[in-house]
Chain A
Amino acid sequence: MKQFQYTITDPVGIHARPAGLLVKAAKALDSAVTVEKVGGKSAPANKLMALMGVGVKQGDTVVVTIEGGDEEASFQAMEQFFKENL
């Protein structure tokens, strides 16, 4: 299991379009990715509506957990995705 923390800088947070992109990126990996809002709910990164339901806004910190498969590669991919898109 690998984890990283990230504070959202995207003005709309993990909503709509960015959430859609995240789902696409997570589905491409062979690891299970979970996004948890610190002090809030969590959701699998490959489920759009659940992810939107977490209600992650700009300024919120999330913990991203990667489990199973090629964890190192998935970790790299997710970290890069968050930095570039969120």
Chain B
Amino acid sequence: MQVATGKSILNGIAIGPIRIYRKEDAQLAVTSTRTAEEELSRFEDACEKAKEQLAGLYEKALAEVGEENAAIFEIHQMMLDDDDYLNAAREIIERQGATAEYAAATTGDNFAATFADMEDAYMKARATDVRDISHRLVNILTGAGEASHLGDEAAILVADDLTPSETVQLDKSKLLGFVTRHGSTNSHTAILARTMNIPALIGVDFDDSWDGKLAIIDGYNHCVYVDPASELLNTMEEKRQADLKQESLLQGLKKKPNVTLDGREIKVYANIGNAADVGLVLQNDAQGIGLFRSEFIYLDSEDYPSEEKQFEIYKRVVETMAGKKVIIRTLDIGADKQADYFQLDKEENPALGYRAIRICLTRKEIFKQQLRAILRASAFGTVSVMFPMIISVREVRDAKDTLEECRAELREQGVAMGEVETGIMIETPAAVMIADELAEEVQFFSIGTNDLTQYTLAIDRQNPKLDNFYNAFHPAVLRMIRMTVEAGHRHDCWVGICGELGADQTLTETFLRMGLDELSVSPPSVLPLRKCIRSLDLSKTPEN
């Protein structure tokens, strides 16, 4: 058995034989036996044909992956109208007496090299697009056509790189997953794979001996097993079956509203702790992200993550959610979540200590860096910002002031921003008791039931000896939740739950009766929760 690691684009399992796809690196004839006029007219014809193909691909992509993702093929068509590109190719034909295919390939390489040299990651990715259109021309000119890279048997495709058009052209019924050596998680190909729901790994160093062998792509663990041991094969098959079961549950519930039999609707969002989880959020059809734990960016980092780095991550998540709400919780570090470079002192009672908003409000430069990144990302979709560990009105006002300060600075610099809704976590008894005053400051509350329970019951949730005393259904906690909802609603503030209790189906009816507006749960809990909501009838008298 061989194991190779890469970067996973989609969490999922694929099992099947490997088919290595090699691009026809056929030696192109350089010197033409035709006249320059003939080659030029072959070239023009190929461009027309390519544009026709692209128009067709655009329609296919539009139907399969939506307008945003299909736009790439429109751009490819425009690239084929570019005078510089066309003239460069024409010149090679005229001056060097070259074949049209050689001219197209060379021009593509030259332009791609220019883009690849640019600093901007987005522009670098354009190099693939130029190669893609040139490759298309070469295929048309050499009669290679649009070969199907997959045989009759469903397979895992392994390639150096896949262009967006290759990805869309693949016959999905034969494609189990794909593995590439190159490519980035930001590439169009990666986005398409995510949208098409195909397990994929990039950055994998493969060798030609893999061809035809049985393999497993484990998207959860970012690796591919070639010639897997039978034990592993069984485990993975079970996992895959579990995924399929989830998938069929999804098919049945997809696009259905989270509404009770008597018509009460509630929003179900998902919690994520990593940008890669966005795929799961969409797969499970959550209506938004109710809790984006931004601290993972800090915990995964050796030093304070730059504004730019954070912006890229937030932007990717916000863009992928395509207009659906993304609630970003600002840095919640301290207590059980530690990063060395923060150099936090050891504390007697870390849960009651220097953490979350308390760090942000005293170390403004860190806070502002994050807020600026969030504000910049807000131009790309619907972003809300949420402050954790609030105990007073003053803290909320300070945090909001800092946010406004960042907004003013960015505006001064001419940076685009969207509307950003502000909210707070309700996770301390103090916040519950003054929820009326807090509700006047913000647009929403999200109840963090884990911490709220720990602080209400005075039980350390890290201490296993206290498990017998810990009761998540303690009436004190449920009353706290009710008080929060009532106070919020008195002031037009919507109220949700983003703690673990939100996914507890024994409480779903209680929460609906309390009037909660939203529940945010882990992605795999979204559909089971939807199923539960759709089976409830609030018009009936509760059993107890």
Interface on A for B, CB 8 Å cutoff? Answer: 7, 9-12, 15-17, 20, 23, 46-50, 52-53, 55, 57-59
Contact = CB atoms under 8 A, between A and B. Distances in A.
B307 to A, nearest CB: 13
A48 B416 contact: no
B85 A10 contact: no
Interface string B411-423: 0011110000000
B111 interface: yes
Interface string B108-138: 0001001100111011001000100000000
Contacts of B84: 47-50
Given A52-B126, A53-B114, A23 B78 contact: yes
A72 to B, nearest CB: 26
Interface pairs A-B: 6 shortest CB-CB: A20-B78, A48-B82, A11-B379, A7-B414, A9-B416, A49-B82
B171 interface: no
Contacts of B111: 49
B48 to A, nearest CB: 17
Contact of B415 (A16, A50, A59): A59
A49 B85 contact: yes
B81 A16 contact: no
A49 B380 contact: no
A10 B416 contact: yes
Contacts of A49: 79, 82, 84-85, 111, 130
B476 interface: no
A17 B416 contact: no
15 contacts: A9-B416, A10-B416, A15-B122, A16-B75, A48-B78, A49-B82, A49-B84, A49-B111, A50-B84, A52-B126, A53-B114, A55-B120, A58-B379, A58-B416, A59-B414
A52 B83 contact: no
Contacts of B415: 58-59
B120 A57 contact: yes
Contact of A55 (B79, B83, B123): B123
Contacts of A53: 114-115, 118, 123
Contacts of B120: 55, 57
B430 interface: no
Contacts of A16: 71-72, 75, 126
Contact of B413 (A12, A17, A46, A59): A59
A32 to B, nearest CB: 13
A11 B416 contact: yes
A26 B339 CA distance: 52
A63 B299 CA distance: 43
Contacts of A59: 413-415
Contacts of B79: 48-49
A47 B118 contact: no
B397 to A, nearest CB: 30
B238 interface: no
Interface string B281-299: 0000000000000000000
Contact of A47 (B83, B122, B380, B413): B83
B74 interface: yes
Nearest to B379: A11
Given A48-B82, A49-B130, A55 B414 contact: no
Nearest to B120: A55
